[in-house]
Structure 1
Amino acid sequence: MKRKTKKNLIEYGIIFAIFGGLYITGLHTEVLGFLQRGVLATGLMDPDLDKNADLAVNDTNSKAYFSMSLINSKGEKVAMEDLRGKVIFMNLWATWCPPCVAEMPGINKLYQDVDKDKVAFIMLSLDQDFQKAIDYNEKKGYDFEVYRVNGAIPEMYNSQSIPTTYVIDPNGNLVLTTYGNGRLQHQGLQGFP
């Protein structure tokens, strides 16, 4: 019995050391995102979009709020108003969020596949230190630009769950909102130019 207890303590110590090391180095988010992508890739957790409560298709076509100022990774101010007339894909994310990290490769693939003259991407980082988002984006080699809000996030886009994605049509209507599902796929967004 004493031998088994000692073995269990060693096993738990090794597990604790591994998870502690991942946490201290900040790699826990990457590992959890990788594991989540793996589980999602199996198809076992594909959402049934007819029953998915995390997906909100805005039937009322509420008007999007365009009076938001952004700052990109180069420090330049960008007015959301300047994007009016395009489809706008806005994703609220953070580097410390495993579901956000898990969906980034799919968002990057979507970004590569759409017509940039017709679709604008706002990858809005919620990291307190915006440089972390910039460094993460560069390290991963994603093609899209990252932004931070210049001021407060407008109430319309203030979400208690991340990742959150908003799609605004060229007429300025908020037509799609997804909350915290970490499973945004290119084929899930039919009609993208």
Structure 2
Amino acid sequence: MNKKTKKNLIEYGLIAAVMAVLYFSGLHTEVLGFLQRGILATGVMNPELEMAGPEKKEESRPVADFNLKLIDTKGGQTSMEDLRGKVIFFNIWATWCPPCIAEMPGINKLYNEVDKEEVAFIMLSVDQDFQKAIDFHRKKGYNFEVYKVDGALPQMYYTQSIPTTYVIDSRGNLALTHMGMGDYDTAKFKEFLSSLK
């Protein structure tokens, strides 16, 4: 075995060892999420936004399904119906999903900057063990609440892709469906939310 081959084997062995440690320690999701934040910074994953206004006919937007019951991190129950009249930022995520982890800091910044009287957030965890979502939320110190579904998820919000984000305007119409991660802490997205009030 020549020196170059031996060196390559050592390098690949070290990479494999690091990946194994990350995987078995559970840190791989955090590391991949961190790396994917770099992709978010480019803007290529951002949602296509269509501003509301007089030229945008509301009837072209589907009516949102408000038949969603939720349980928060303290065991409290709430309903999406309670949020009717507000713009709703509704994100489906999981702790094991690196793209979900990647977009969370931006969602938290957005949450901290919007008027909570006009914009509500539903951060719906699909973790089988909701305690994992609670622990993740607590560890990260995010300001938004996280929820699990109480009952069935309305068909309108079924998705094969997480994260998936829905935005519902204040009139109860589905204004945005974005599958995959996105950077929501942008001036353009904040303007979009304002246009839906």
**Does structure 1 residue 132 correspond to structure 2 residue 132?**
yes
User: For this pair of structures, how many residues does the alignment match?
Assistant: 185
Give TM-score scaled by structure 2 length: 0.86
Give CA deviations for 1:5-64 in whole Å, capped at 9, x if unaligned: 3332222211111000000111111111111112332x27365848xxxxxxx9721111
CA contact (8 A) 2:125 2:133 kept: yes
Aligned residue number for residue 90 of structure 1: 90
Quick one: distance in 2 between partners of 1:46 and 1:164? Answer: 12
- Give the deviation of 1:4 after TM superposition: 3.3
CA contact (8 A) 1:59 1:175 kept: no
Quick one: distance in 1 between partners of 2:43 and 2:171? Answer: 36
Aligned residue number for residue 161 of structure 2: 161
Give TM-score scaled by structure 1 length: 0.88
Aligned residue number for residue 37 of structure 1: 37
Identity of aligned residues (%): 62
Aligned residue number for residue 143 of structure 1: 143
Opposite residue 159 of structure 1, the aligned amino acid is T
CA contact (8 A) 1:100 1:182 kept: no
Opposite residue 24 of structure 2, the aligned amino acid is I
What is the 5 A alignment of 1:91-106? 91-106=91-106
Gaps of 5+ in 2: 50-57
Moved beyond 4 Å, runs of 4+: none
**CA RMSD between the two structures:** 2.0
What is the 5 A alignment of 1:1-193? 1-41=1-41, 43=42, 45=44, 47=46, 49=48, 60-189=60-189, 190-193=191-194
What's the secondary structure of 1:192's corresponding residue? helix
Quick one: distance in 2 between partners of 1:112 and 1:6? Answer: 52
Quick one: distance in 2 between partners of 1:148 and 1:99? Answer: 19
CA contact (8 A) 2:63 2:174 kept: yes
CA contact (8 A) 2:86 2:169 kept: yes
